[in-house]
Chain A
Amino acid sequence: MTDPEIHLLSGAYAADALPDDERGAFEEHLRDCPTCAHEVRELTETTSRLAIAVSQTAPARLRARVLREIEMVRQEPPTDLPRGLDDGLPAQPWYRQPTGMAASFLLVLSLALAGVAVAANRDADRAEQNAARIAAIATDPDRVTLGERVTTGGTASIVAADGEAIFRADGLTVLPEDRGYQLWVMNEDGARSVGVLGRGTSSHVEAFVTEVASGDRIGLTVEPSEGSESPTTDPVLQIAVSGA
């Protein structure tokens, strides 16, 4: 999106008055425009005051219901790495990679991730930490590399060590704008979302996965672009994590 007037959309964005497609484009723009991001933060604080101004007493029964419900809801892990970083890395074969090669590609990846985050001028510290964790996985002597075909096209691999993993997929079928590939960690407790990767419009996605244990399966499903709470379609990919 190169519309020179795109920054004028900050007000419409803060009021949630952008149609979905324009919202996505504007969010892309925000990553490269710290001034706009700052303005959006202030205008969002402002609309928050508009919400406070129309407070109404919530029904009393709601309180008990919500408090009961949260006892049964697991909190998300605090991860927030890659949402499909399309950084032009060379394509990798999906099958078990020679370990030296895996290490070097991951080091390149970790630097690329740090670079992207700095360029976007946000979360630089966290990116650095994540880069360090990615490097730690890449150099862990006990890491395992596992690969599998994606049934709808493309290949995926994970490199796992010490409870964390890097997921990567290439050659994915590009999805319509309102669909995305959602990554899950699945075990007998159910499916935990890692996130929607790359809004489905990219054929290459990467993600950092925490809290993975041997015996878990990593799964990929096609979901609405905002993601689902649990998988609503059959997985197009499953990788059983073993040995790590």
Chain B
Amino acid sequence: MTVISRPDETVVPMVSLRRSQRPVLVPDLPPTVDELLQRVARGDSPAFELLYDEIANSVFGVIRRVLHNPAQSEEVTQEVLIEVWRNATRFDPERGSATSWIHTMAHRRAIDRVRSAQASADRDQRVAMRDHVTPYDDVADQVETHLEHQQVRRCLDSLTELQRESVGLAYYGGHTYREVAELLDVPLGTVKTRLRDGLIRLRDCLGVTR
């Protein structure tokens, strides 16, 4: 019996094109995260390095935001980035962007860590998060250069207070919607709908389409 192996596409080299054959009018745009991830899926480790540089800061940032503890955040970030390498083959562009796939993985890992910490009765983190009602506070080493950051902040400001608090507590605080309801002292159904219409309003403000 033969072992099925995938055709090794990584050996088809772009560099085999002679310089003069390159289309002159096409500007040398850096590869997108989607393109990089698809190269990574074929075992291309130089592409992974480029991918790392594109996503490590946002992956670390969101994990740190949820977990607070720097050492733990670093550990989870490492796990997630290796997971990206391992599972790049399973990324399906039909289901969303590569960036969103990676951030979902990062956020879920952070959430899993919070929940298992809760389960093992480590309440410190949770107490720290209770103070964390507004989605934006001063994080000294936040990367402020992002236009993205400005835009998201502006769009968050367009939400109602309850929408903003719900989204912030759930996404940045790592709380379940049941916990959010308890923290804000509003009915469960209200939190469900505020999370949904809050994110819908954000989506429209940020011009996200898929």
The reply on A174 being an interface residue by CB < 8 A is no
**Residues of the A chain whose Cβ atoms lie less than 8 Å from the Cβ of B184:** none
Interface contact A48-B99, CB-CB below 8 Å:
yes
**Residues of the A chain whose Cβ atoms lie less than 8 Å from the Cβ of B60:** 55-59, 62
Interface contact B100-A163, CB-CB below 8 Å:
no
| Nearest-Cβ distance from residue B84 to partner chain A, whole angstroms | 9
Binary per-residue interface labels of chain A (47-62) against chain B in the complex, 1 for a CB within 8 Å, 0 otherwise? 1111111111111001
**Residues of the A chain whose Cβ atoms lie less than 8 Å from the Cβ of B48:** 67, 70
The reply on A44 being an interface residue by CB < 8 A is yes
Contact pick for A12, options B5, B153, B196, B206, CB 8 Å: B196
Total A-B pairs, Cβ < 8 A: 231
The reply on B72 being an interface residue by CB < 8 A is no
| Nearest-Cβ distance from residue A203 to partner chain B, whole angstroms | 27
The reply on B57 being an interface residue by CB < 8 A is yes
| Nearest-Cβ distance from residue A47 to partner chain B, whole angstroms | 6
How many residues on the B side are at the interface (Cβ–Cβ under 8 A)?
Answer: 83
The reply on B200 being an interface residue by CB < 8 A is yes
CA of A62 to CA of B141 in the docked complex: distance in angstroms? 17
Interface contact B200-A12, CB-CB below 8 Å:
no
Binary per-residue interface labels of chain A (159-186) against chain B in the complex, 1 for a CB within 8 Å, 0 otherwise? 0111110000000000000000000000
CA of A9 to CA of B170 in the docked complex: distance in angstroms? 13
CA of A8 to CA of B187 in the docked complex: distance in angstroms? 14
Interface contact B61-A55, CB-CB below 8 Å:
yes
Q: Which residue of B lies closest to A8 (CB)?
A: B192
**Residues of the B chain whose Cβ atoms lie less than 8 Å from the Cβ of A16:** 104, 107-108, 111, 170-171, 174
Q: A17-B180, A50-B172 are in contact. Are A213 and B61 (CB under 8 A)?
A: no
| Nearest-Cβ distance from residue A183 to partner chain B, whole angstroms | 16
Interface contact B78-A11, CB-CB below 8 Å:
no
The reply on B59 being an interface residue by CB < 8 A is yes
Q: A63-B52, A75-B89 are in contact. Are A46 and B143 (CB under 8 A)?
A: no
Interface contact B82-A66, CB-CB below 8 Å:
yes
Interface contact B203-A62, CB-CB below 8 Å:
no
Q: A49-B206, A50-B171, A54-B65 are in contact. Are A62 and B78 (CB under 8 A)?
A: yes
Interface contact A51-B203, CB-CB below 8 Å:
no
Interface contact B100-A70, CB-CB below 8 Å:
no
The reply on B19 being an interface residue by CB < 8 A is no
Interface contact A213-B192, CB-CB below 8 Å:
no
Interface contact A55-B149, CB-CB below 8 Å:
yes
Interface contact B104-A48, CB-CB below 8 Å:
yes
CA of A51 to CA of B54 in the docked complex: distance in angstroms? 13
Interface contact A54-B61, CB-CB below 8 Å:
yes
Interface contact B90-A15, CB-CB below 8 Å:
no
Q: Which of A76-84, A102-110, A148-156 contacts B (4 or more CB under 8 A)?
A: A76-84
**Residues of the A chain whose Cβ atoms lie less than 8 Å from the Cβ of B180:** 17
Interface contact B89-A76, CB-CB below 8 Å:
yes
Contact pick for B3, options A52, A59, A73, A163, CB 8 Å: A163
Interface contact A57-B143, CB-CB below 8 Å:
yes
The reply on B152 being an interface residue by CB < 8 A is yes
Interface contact A46-B78, CB-CB below 8 Å:
no
| Nearest-Cβ distance from residue B193 to partner chain A, whole angstroms | 6
The reply on B17 being an interface residue by CB < 8 A is no
Contact pick for A58, options B77, B192, B197, CB 8 Å: B77
Q: Which residue of B lies closest to A67 (CB)?
A: B49
Task: Contacts A8-B193, A54-B142, A56-B64 known; list 5 others, CB within 8 Å.
Answer: A45-B96, A57-B143, A62-B56, A67-B48, A122-B94
B residues contacting A by CB (< 8 A) are: 1-6, 41, 43, 45, 48-49, 52, 56-62, 64-65, 74, 77-78, 81-82, 85-90, 92, 94-97, 99-100, 103-104, 106-108, 111-112, 135, 139, 141-143, 146, 148-149, 152-153, 167, 170-172, 174-178, 180, 189, 191-200, 202-203, 206, 208-210
23 A-B pairs within 8 Å (CB atoms) are namely A8-B192, A11-B197, A11-B198, A11-B199, A11-B200, A12-B170, A38-B210, A41-B96, A42-B209, A43-B196, A47-B107, A48-B97, A50-B172, A53-B148, A55-B57, A55-B58, A55-B61, A55-B142, A66-B82, A73-B82, A78-B6, A123-B92, A160-B1
